[in-house]
Structure 1
């Protein structure tokens, strides 16, 4: 069974990275990934705090951004306590680990994103995930330490054994597209829409693209469906005789 990858996104303090490594090894987890740590890597403060869990740090993968850290994952959870305008399934740690065990049992790779200590994950990070994990804590003090959050997820991973909901088992056996395939599809759509002048006005283009990326990451697309979408886009471009010319960026309601 493939254990989930605990992905620390832009962690700020080495001590928290080391604490997360200890929390992981407490529950038999060893796959740590680190995205753009503030103080660089390796970090001696992380090694000192790990205290016996040094092998987790020794084998940790270092990545420049979230997209590359999750490129080989079939399903990604984002941990956050803050409300989001992004529409995504929201689950508890218990439910998340039920799903993770079912997916892992079928050979799927799962990643769990943990945000930096000061403000947590940004929308640009969360939009890449398939679902959100929220811990039911005191709403008046919802902030969790990075290592504490990793500990909660690790505990639920270890606690979950063999009982998996049937609908999750069915989901796990489906050949869903990997996140890198979804990313390529999103890029293909953006390319075609950009040529068609869809992203207008330009000032709103980044927000429009985030909304589209969130939609793609939320859809449980199979590999066959992704190939179908690519084929549809290529055929539309062929039939329209696309010559690579970018459409006018003027307001479509304007007259000449």
Structure 2
């Protein structure tokens, strides 16, 4: 159901009320009497609303017909943005967070995002977030692979089961890794678990 808000005579509507509004109605006034009190404003609005023709808005109310995204989709996108900004400590100092959020939100609401723009913006947020995260994971994986290589080389020198084995490939998979090795012209897949920087062989599978 639609909700109609009227601000107080002293300060008007709160900033977040204005930001969250789908439409803002203003009255043309005589320059000699530029303001109306709250009771007059409510009376004028109710009269115009009650005397409108059917479901049509009053003739003087011109509202551009835009394909604006449903507010719940826009809010989900904006909340996603806020969550990512909170994650990196963007809102600092903390006591300015509310004002900073309002400053971000106001122009975005007024822009009237379409469904396509909301989807595109969420994709942009995801790309910006995943870029550094992906680089972090790549660096972490490179470190783990280097540690596995060092562990494998040390094991080939001290353990008979991998004597003369040649490491061909390392495939990481969360808490385990698969090592493709060649030994005496036989290729095998060695499965190792990764726990707290330690590597333990859990299975050896002949490939051919």
Greater strand content: 2
- The alignment's TM-score, normalised by the length of structure 1, stands at 0.41
Which structure ranks higher in relative contact order (CA pairs < 8 Å, sequence separation ≥ 6)?
A: 1
- If you compute each CA radius of gyration, which structure gives the higher value, 1 or 2? 2
